Amino acid sequence: MSRLRAHLFVAGFLIAPVALYLVFVISPYIQAFQIALTDWRGVAASPNYVGFENFLTMFGDEVFWAALRHHGVLLVALPVLTIGISLLFAFLLNLGGGQRGGTMTGVWGSKFYRVVFFFPQVLAVAVVGVLFQAVYRPDDSGVINGVLIRLGVEPVGWLTEPSIAFWAIIAVMVWQAVGFYVVLFSAGMAAIPRDVFEAAALDGAGRFRLFFSITLPLLWDTLQVGWVYLGIAAFDGFALVQVLSVDRGGPDNSTTVLPLEIWKTAFSYSDFGYASAMGVALFFLTITFAALTLRVSKRERIEL
């Protein structure tokens, strides 16, 4: 009887959050699947069902494939660059100073650097976009081009040249994300007993050996989580692309991403059926990526 009461007590607390989750998360997903099979324009009360016509149109849409290619680039570039830079900084801030007083420490001023690295996380994405609009301006009023012009170098159209515009936006994504993952990896390193690093240092292991032979293997679970988070983020990019890109995904669709195309299709062209079909495709792409990443990167946990 006491166990039944305990279960009822827990269920009482779960009813409200589960109900809210079903209404505001699961229900919109189900409605998106339904709308994807219609030609709904956002007005008619009873839309016409067109079956898989929206999906067939999507597979023949060049803009859809351009956005998909950009997500492929993001899936590689964003995790690799962000995790690589974050790991380096986290290692320097926690263990880069070597042994001092018999204890492994970070580089000088590491506490100050932690604040500096985390600063982009407190800024809204729109604010970051506006800041980098000033950084990337194509004339001498831009931060980068102003320096280049003073050095006698021709200004660069960071956001107007199709060949480099998307990479300029990726650089902003990495800049914004690094601070969070520095904190995440620092927390993971803090959970590793210092005795392990100190024993390795006493045996003559340098920073290179400490990083690749001890830190990375013991930090694998945290790296796995970071890679999944960044992969999911690679299927987004809506806010920064909308704020920074020329003509919302330009020039010539060289920076477009699926969330932006979904937004444009739904709210600029009022084609909610086609927008929902792209949303369904994005949903399955994200779920598939997360499942495959967790499966491929799974390995035995090292116990200390």
Segment 26-54, tens digit of pLDDT: 888 888 888 899 888 877 677 888 889 99
- Strands (E) located in the chain: 98-100, 103-105
Q: Where do the domains of the chain lie, and which CATH numbers do they carry?
A: 62-296 (1.10.3720.10)
Distances (CA, A) of 179 to 87, 96, 109, 190: 11, 17, 16, 16
User: Three-state DSSP class for 297?
Assistant: coil
Q: Using CA atoms, how far apart are residues 66 and 68, in angstroms rounded to an integer?
A: 5
Three-state SS letters, the chain? CHHHHHHHHHHHHHHHHHHHHHHHHHHHHHHHHHHCCECCCCCCCCCCECCCHHHHHHHCCHHHHHHHHHHHHHHHHHHHHHHHHHHHHHHHHHCCCEEECCEEECCCCHHHHHHHHHHHHHCCHHHHHHHHHHHCCCCCCCHHHHHHHHCCCCCCCCCCCHHHHHHHHHHHHHHHHHHHHHHHHHHHHHCCCHHHHHHHHHCCCCHHHHHHHHHHHHCHHHHHHHHHHHHHHHCCCHHHHHHHCECCCECCCCCCCHHHHHHHHHHCCCCHHHHHHHHHHHHHHHHHHHHHHHHHCCCCCCCC
CA angle in degrees (0–180, nearest 5) for 93-208-192 = 55
Provide the pLDDT for residue 185.
86
Peptide bond into 47 cis (omega under 30): no
Q: What band does 211 get if pLDDT is binned at 50, 70 and 90?
A: confident
Q: Using CA atoms, how far apart are residues 43 and 41, in angstroms rounded to an integer?
A: 6
Provide the pLDDT for residue 301.
56
On average, the pLDDT of the chain sits at: 83
Residue 42 in tokens: 């956002």
Q: Contact 94/110 with Cβ under 8 angstroms?
A: yes
Segment 76-100, tens digit of pLDDT: 999 999 999 998 888 888 766 555 5
Provide the pLDDT for residue 106.
64
pTM given for the model? 0.84
Q: What band does 114 get if pLDDT is binned at 50, 70 and 90?
A: confident
Provide the pLDDT for residue 29.
85
Q: What band does 3 get if pLDDT is binned at 50, 70 and 90?
A: confident
- Burial string for 113-143 (b: 16+ CB within 10 Å, else e) reads bbeebeebeeeebeebbebbeebbbeeeebe
Alpha helices per DSSP H over 235-302? 238-244, 258-267, 272-296
Amino acid at 240: L
Segment 235-259, tens digit of pLDDT: 888 889 999 988 888 888 899 999 9
